[in-house]
């Protein structure tokens, strides 16, 4: 099996020389690139030093033709470079946004971005292609999508209302990046006239006509529109395709979520929502054949200002699908549903543990009335899993500390019985830590009453409790040691 | 005697052919990966400007993620690591620390630093693990949970974390790592925006040595002082920037660093969680997930993105480097051997036809072939089987080609993320990229060969790498 020495030597030599040349090129490019970048940064720094005072003046509201003219005299790329940091700061407050919009219009940037978005990129010289960081993007057509997407993003950051038709058009761009950025920008602009176009695309995406736009992104975009646009979802909510109904109700759910997050007292009533939509929620979507629709509808119904919402939600607590019951019991965690306490309490014995867990959390969120129901259940039930869940939640929320604060009057109060039961169950680690460390743990989202008990009697009761806890721990340590020895 | 000599000659010639094919195949694929990554990473870097992380951060639809930190004898850094993890920007972030039966005061330090209380919760394992001794939390820090369990190794600790995790995704994070503030958002981006179900998303791991870290954040990036650590900087760049990016582009991801990666919890559980029968549980899980997808006819994606950054300490001494590399090689061999049936199997697609055979032949066997090459080539010269000129040329070519690939990785860093800001750092990295192949590569090869030997002799113990450098 002889090796062909000569051709191999020649091949090795040729590869060696080529690789050495390759290394030289790579090192050259790396150093050139660093040099170019340093130069670019230097230019950006000097430009900022030179023009920043003008920019600050303009942004501060001091409009001057000379200032604008001075900035307009700069090449487009430098004007962009100057404004880029202002756009990168994320969502600016509205007043600043209007000024920024005006500035970008006067500097011709908005026009340039709009042109780029529709594919009319400016031609640049060969020198600029090599020296500007984004030079190649202008020159190479297949890389042009970065500029289009960047322009769509800038129009969205500026919330430029007049650009919405261009952004809707960009949803049909051949590159998916441009489509998704245009979608996000439309969501930021929230122009009501763009809503139907987005709904139409949502239908297309679900029915498989639009492969690049995902229903999830379209749903997220539509969900950021104000509730006043919710009525336009009516055809989708009544659509025969279940997936379209699911997405539509989810959009409505998101709209409500954002509205409720902005206003703690938020209630879904007439100015926000039409009577027709309310009726559909209470008499149609709550009994939709698709459980996903029913579950999401429950979350919206919980915000409705209607006398019918409580009975409808109570009915949904008996839904055959566990995730509908889960969503419903979670949605009931609002003080206005204190009237449904008995129904929520029934969920503590639900066959699905996640519904039970949600019921525990909801009851604890319903202040002392809810907590009392929960503790009563804890004392009565013999179901181990249910008890474990309750212990977990009351410890997680620090509620045990509140119980301890009311412990010790010697009577048969609920708090005393719960603590005694915890001791009986050997669930004493937390109690011990609180008593021993004298920790005062505030309960999140719950104000508890002062105990009003004589300090001495309480002190004695706690000392007794601590002694029994210590005894319990000692016996457990002993038991653990025994089992280790046995093992 | 003549027959023996003839047999030896033929044997050596055959071996030389193996080395030559190994050289051309290995370097050919690496060059392909480098060229692909150069384009893809450059474009990806430009696309970051309109990535829209704010939307992910503010959306009600963003799924919560749990960071699982397995810790064993990490008392020196654990508190800072957990603080760093808690500071990570992400909506609905939870952190679970699993103290894997530490013999030092890892648990006590956590309890003291975060005011933790032992809870009376019952641990219900869905994935089998060793018993959990206690669960700790502080109601004021509701997104932090610490579990103390009996020592069962990293995979067991990770499985305990998965059992306790309640979110649809979890991120495994080594206790000695520092995450960049937005790293998790960036890591979740491909999961949330991909049209194919992305079950794993990995990010880049960069070398912390030489950087300045304050309050769980890297505040100044620089090169380490010693040559050994500096070589590892180049090595990490090469491995992550073009190795993993390239395989990701081909759809043949076989390795995602478990030091920092996000996984789909449900699918990981269906695939059986992390296994303890290899010492690289992260690679084993990835291969296991490929199996799972093929068996269940599911189209899944495993993504690697080079912009979410996790900083980690690399070994600063030869003994620690040896431990690390021996373990990596041993784990690689164990995993490839365990899943050997994937080799050239149609149902595994790119992984079965390309990625798995490449890892098997070049990364797995390659260590032994290259190491033996250094021993047998001089023998071939002595016996006159191959002319010395050709041997010298090939050895030279090996050094130079390695340098070419490393310089390519440095260029890729320069064209994209440029984390080392000083010009001096760039020059140093370029010089190191050239020098790395003389001495350091052979040293690492020696450790890798030891790993292969350990695999052959059935050794399977985990060797812990102790860091002594900068803490988070």
Q: Do the bridges between strand B300-312 and strand B93-100 make them parallel or antiparallel, or are there none, so unpaired?
A: unpaired
Residue B405 contacts residue B238 (beta carbons within 8 Å): yes
Domains of chain A: which residue ranges? 55-188, 226-328, 332-397, 400-487
Lowest mean pLDDT among A20-24, A165-169, B42-46: B42-46
User: What average pLDDT does chain B have?
Assistant: 90
**pLDDT given at position B7:** 81
Q: Which of residues 18-77 of B touch A (CB under 8 A)?
A: 20, 43, 46-47, 49-50, 52, 54-55, 59-61
**pLDDT given at position A296:** 93
Instruction: Chain B: give the shortest CA distance to residue A3, in Å.
Output: 7
Q: In the numeric block, which tokens belong to residue A256?
A: 């409500």
Residue B50 contacts residue A113 (beta carbons within 8 Å): no
Best mutation site among A24, A34, A422 for testing chain B: the one with the most B CBs within 10 Å?
Answer: A34
Confidence check: pLDDT of A448 > 50: no
User: Of the candidates A16, A152, A430, which has its C-beta nearest B117's C-beta?
Assistant: A430
Contact B50 A396 (CB under 8 A): no
- Angle, CA A23 vertex, CA A19 and CA A28 arms, to 5°: 145
Q: Do the bridges between strand B93-100 and strand B141-149 make them parallel or antiparallel, or are there none, so unpaired?
A: parallel
**pLDDT given at position A409:** 61
For tokens 């004493």, what's the residue? A428
H helices of B194-280, in order, are 227-237, 245-250, 265-270
Q: Is B384 on the interface with A (CB under 8 A)?
A: no
Confidence check: pLDDT of B469 > 80: no
Contact list in A for residue B117 (CB cut-off 8 A) is 395, 429-430, 433-434, 437, 439
Contact B414 A30 (CB under 8 A): yes
A:B CB pairs within 8 Å: 152
Among A54-63, A315-324, B191-200, the range with the most confident prediction by mean pLDDT is A315-324
Instruction: Chain B: give the shortest CA distance to residue A398, in Å.
Output: 5
- Angle, CA B230 vertex, CA B225 and CA B233 arms, to 5°: 135
User: What average pLDDT does chain A have?
Assistant: 84
Nearest CA in chain B to A177: B47
Contact list in B for residue A91 (CB cut-off 8 A) is 54
The residues that bridge with B198 in the sheet, in sequence order, are B301
Confidence check: pLDDT of A119 > 70: yes
Across A360-388, average pLDDT: 89
Best mutation site among B37, B111, B120, B389 for testing chain A: the one with the most A CBs within 10 Å?
Answer: B120
Confidence check: pLDDT of A155 > 90: yes
Instruction: Chain B: give the shortest CA distance to residue A153, in Å.
Output: 6
Cα maximum dimension of chain A: 104
Contact B47 A146 (CB under 8 A): yes
**pLDDT given at position A484:** 67
Query: What backbone torsions phi and psi does residue B208 show, to the nearest 5 degrees?
Result: -80, -30
Task: Compute the distance between CA of residue B87 and CA of residue B24 in angstroms, rounded to an integer.
Answer: 47
Across B291-310, average pLDDT: 92
Dihedral-angle region of residue A239 (phi above 0 means left; psi in -120 to 50 means alpha; beta otherwise): beta
Contact B121 A395 (CB under 8 A): yes
Instruction: Chain A: give the shortest CA distance to residue B450, in Å.
Output: 30
**pLDDT given at position B471:** 46
Best mutation site among A30, A81, A402, A423 for testing chain B: the one with the most B CBs within 10 Å?
Answer: A30
Contact B397 A19 (CB under 8 A): yes
Contact list in A for residue B134 (CB cut-off 8 A) is 429
Q: Is B132 on the interface with A (CB under 8 A)?
A: no
More reliable by pLDDT, B7 or B433:
B433
Q: Is B375 on the interface with A (CB under 8 A)?
A: no
**With 0-12 CB in 10 A as exposed, 13-18 as middle and 19+ as buried, what is A357?**
buried
**pLDDT given at position A443:** 39
Across B439-466, average pLDDT: 86
Would you call B427 helix, strand, or coil by DSSP?
helix
Contact A150 B49 (CB under 8 A): yes
pLDDT classification of A368: cutoffs 50, 70, 90: confident
Query: What backbone torsions phi and psi does residue B142 show, to the nearest 5 degrees?
Result: -65, -15
DSSP B90-120: -TTEEEEEEEES-SSSHHHHHHHHHT-EEE-
Smallest CA-to-CA distance from B449 within B325, B321, B281, B315 is with B325
DSSP A133-193: TTHHHHH-GGGTHHHHHHHHHHHHHTT-GGGHHHHHHHTT-SSHHHHHHHHHHHHHH--GG
Sign of the torsion angle spanned by Cα atoms B63, B97, B260, B201: negative
**pLDDT given at position A470:** 75
Model confidence pLDDT, tens digit, residues A167-178: 999 999 989 899
User: E-strand spans in B216-366?
Assistant: 217-220, 260-264, 300-312
Q: Is B404 on the interface with A (CB under 8 A)?
A: yes
pLDDT classification of B215: cutoffs 50, 70, 90: confident
Contact list in B for residue A422 (CB cut-off 8 A) is 120
Contact B407 A30 (CB under 8 A): yes
User: Of the candidates B120, B142, B192, which has its C-beta nearest A427's C-beta?
Assistant: B120
């Amino acid at each position: 099996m002889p090796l062909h020495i000569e051709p191999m030597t020649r091949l090795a030599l040729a590869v060696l020389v080529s690789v050495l040349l390759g290394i030289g090129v790579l090192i050259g490019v790396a150093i050139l690139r660093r040099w170019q970048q340093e130069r670019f940064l230097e230019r950006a720094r000097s430009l900022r030093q030179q023009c920043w005072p003008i920019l600050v003046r303009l942004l501060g509201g001091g409009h001057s033709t000379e200032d604008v003219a001075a900035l307009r005299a700069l090449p487009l790329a430098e004007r962009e470079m100057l404004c880029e940091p202002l756009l990168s700061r994320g969502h600016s407050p509205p007043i600043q946004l209007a000024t920024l919009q005006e500035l970008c219009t006067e500097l011709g940037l908005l026009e340039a971005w709009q042109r780029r978005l529709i594919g009319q990129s400016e031609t640049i010289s060969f020198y600029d292609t090599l020296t500007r960081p984004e030079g190649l993007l202008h020159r190479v057509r297949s890389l042009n999508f970065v500029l289009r997407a960047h322009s769509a993003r800038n129009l969205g950051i500026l919330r430029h209302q007049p650009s919405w038709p261009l952004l809707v058009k960009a949803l049909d761009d051949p590159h998916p990046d441009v489509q998704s950025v245009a979608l996000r920008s439309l969501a930021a602009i929230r122009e009501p006239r763009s809503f139907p176009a987005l709904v139409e695309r949502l239908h297309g995406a679900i029915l498989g006509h639009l492969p690049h736009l995902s229903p999830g992104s379209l749903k997220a975009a539509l969900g950021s529109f104000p509730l006043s646009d919710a009525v336009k979802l009516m055809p989708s909510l009544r659509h025969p395709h279940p997936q379209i109904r699911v997405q539509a109700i989810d959009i409505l759910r998101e709209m409500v979520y954002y509205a409720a997050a902005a206003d703690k007292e938020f209630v879904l009533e007439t100015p926000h929502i039409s009577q027709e939509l309310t009726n559909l929620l209470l008499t149609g979507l709550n009994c939709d054949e698709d459980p996903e629709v029913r579950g999401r509808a429950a979350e919206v119904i919980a915000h409705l200002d209607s006398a019918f919402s409580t009975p409808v939600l109570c009915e949904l607590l008996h839904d055959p699908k566990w995730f509908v019951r889960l969503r419903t019991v979670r949605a009931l965690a609002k003080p206005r549903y204190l009237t449904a306490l008995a129904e929520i309490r029934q969920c503590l014995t639900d066959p699905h543990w996640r519904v039970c867990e949600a019921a525990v959390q909801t009851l604890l969120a319903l202040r002392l009335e809810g907590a009392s129901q929960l503790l009563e259940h804890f004392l009565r039930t013999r179901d181990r899993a249910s008890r474990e869940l309750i212990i977990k939640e009351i410890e997680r929320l620090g509620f045990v500390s509140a119980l301890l604060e009311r412990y010790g009057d010697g009577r048969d109060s609920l708090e005393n019985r719960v603590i005694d039961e915890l001791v009986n169950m050997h669930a004493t680690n937390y109690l011990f830590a609180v008593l021993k460390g004298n920790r005062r743990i505030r309960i999140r989202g719950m104000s508890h009453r002062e105990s009003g008990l004589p300090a001495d009697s309480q002190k004695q009761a706690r000392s007794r409790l601590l002694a029994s806890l210590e005894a319990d721990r000692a016996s457990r340590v002993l038991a653990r040691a025994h089992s280790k020895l046995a093992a | 005697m003549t027959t023996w000599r003839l047999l030896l000659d033929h044997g050596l010639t055959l071996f030389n052919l193996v080395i030559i094919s190994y050289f051309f195949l290995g370097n050919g694929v690496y060059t392909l990966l480098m060229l692909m990554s150069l384009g893809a990473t450059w474009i990806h870097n430009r696309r970051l400007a309109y990535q829209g992380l704010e939307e992910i951060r503010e959306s009600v639809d963003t799924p919560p993620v749990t960071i699982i930190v397995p810790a064993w004898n990490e008392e020196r850094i654990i508190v800072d690591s957990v603080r760093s993890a808690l500071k990570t920007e992400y909506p609905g972030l939870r952190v679970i620390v699993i103290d894997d039966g530490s013999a030092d005061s890892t648990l006590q330090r956590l309890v003291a630093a975060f005011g933790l209380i032992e809870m009376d919760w019952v641990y219900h394992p869905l994935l089998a693990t060793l018993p959990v001794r206690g669960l700790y939390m502080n109601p004021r820090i509701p997104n932090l949970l610490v579990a103390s369990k009996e020592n069962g190794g990293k995979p067991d600790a990770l499985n305990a974390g998965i059992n306790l995790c309640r979110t649809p995704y979890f991120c495994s994070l080594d206790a000695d790592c520092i995450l960049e503030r937005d790293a998790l958002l960036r890591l979740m981006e491909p999961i949330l925006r991909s049209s194919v179900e992305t079950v794993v998303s990995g990010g880049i791991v960069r070398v912390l040595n030489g950087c300045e870290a304050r309050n769980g954040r890297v505040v100044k990036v620089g090169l380490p002082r010693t040559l050994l650590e500096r070589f590892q900087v180049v090595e990490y760049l090469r491995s992550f920037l073009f190795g993993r990016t390239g395989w990701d582009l081909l759809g043949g991801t076989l390795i995602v660093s478990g030091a920092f990666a996000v996984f789909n919890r449900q699918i990981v559980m269906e695939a059986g969680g992390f296994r303890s029968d290899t010492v690289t549980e992260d690679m084993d899980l990835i291969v296991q997930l490929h199996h799972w997808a093929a068996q269940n006819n599911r189209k899944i994606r495993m993504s690697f993105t080079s912009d979410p950054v996790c900083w980690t300490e690399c070994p600063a001494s030869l003994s620690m480097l040896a431990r690390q590399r021996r373990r990596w090689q041993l784990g690689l061999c164990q995993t490839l051997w365990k899943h050997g049936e994937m080799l050239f199997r149609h149902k595994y697609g790119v992984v079965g036809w390309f990625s798995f055979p490449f890892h098997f032949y070049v990364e797995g066997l390659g260590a032994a072939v290259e190491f033996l090459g250094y021993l047998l080539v001089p023998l071939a010269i002595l016996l006159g089987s191959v002319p010395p000129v050709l041997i010298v040329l090939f050895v030279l070519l090996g050094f130079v080609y390695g340098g070419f690939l490393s310089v390519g990785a440095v260029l890729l860093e320069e064209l994209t993320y440029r984390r080392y800001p000083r010009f001096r750092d760039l020059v140093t990295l370029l010089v190191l990229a050239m020098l790395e192949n003389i001495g350091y590569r052979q040293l690492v090869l020696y450790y890798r060969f030891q790993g292969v030997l350990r695999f052959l002799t059935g050794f399977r113990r985990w060797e812990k790498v102790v860091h002594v450098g900068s803490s988070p």
